[in-house]
Amino acid sequence: MTKKRLQSDRDAVQRLEDALIEDVLGASDEDIRAEARADGIDLERQAESMRSMFEREIVQAGKEKMAAARSGLAAYRSGSSQIVSRRTCREPCPKHGPLGRAADKRLSDADQ
């Protein structure tokens, strides 16, 4: 396949992706509900599942922050020079992706 053809195919896929995104974003809530019902999706069960997943991720992020804080405190008390700034923990990471950072956004400026 030539580079020109390959780029043309990529452009076509990008246009399709853009059209699908616009279709989803342009749909009304009722349209989405009706389509989900037609597909046999229990919206209440799905919503509860998502809430539960987010809650587990928030709790896990809190546990990891607490572990990092304890580690930092232990390092501080031992006089270690290897204390890591909290700033480095705010960068996206493969393990948590955007959920790890979303939980951080709940903190007020005073908490940081």
Tokens (6 digits) for 8: 């043309």
User: In the chain, what are the domain boundaries?
Assistant: 1-41, 42-112
Query: What pTM, to 2 d.p., does this model score?
Result: 0.46
Q: Give the relative orientation of helices 97-104 and 43-78 as an angle to the nearest 10 degrees.
A: 70
- Give the burial string for 58-73 (b: 16+ CB within 10 Å, else e): eeebeeebeeeeeebe
C-beta separation of 88 from 80 below 8 A? no
pLDDT in tens, the chain (112 residues): 588 888 899 999 999 999 999 998 999 999 999 999 999 999 999 999 999 999 999 999 999 999 999 998 988 888 865 555 555 555 555 555 555 544 444 444 554 4
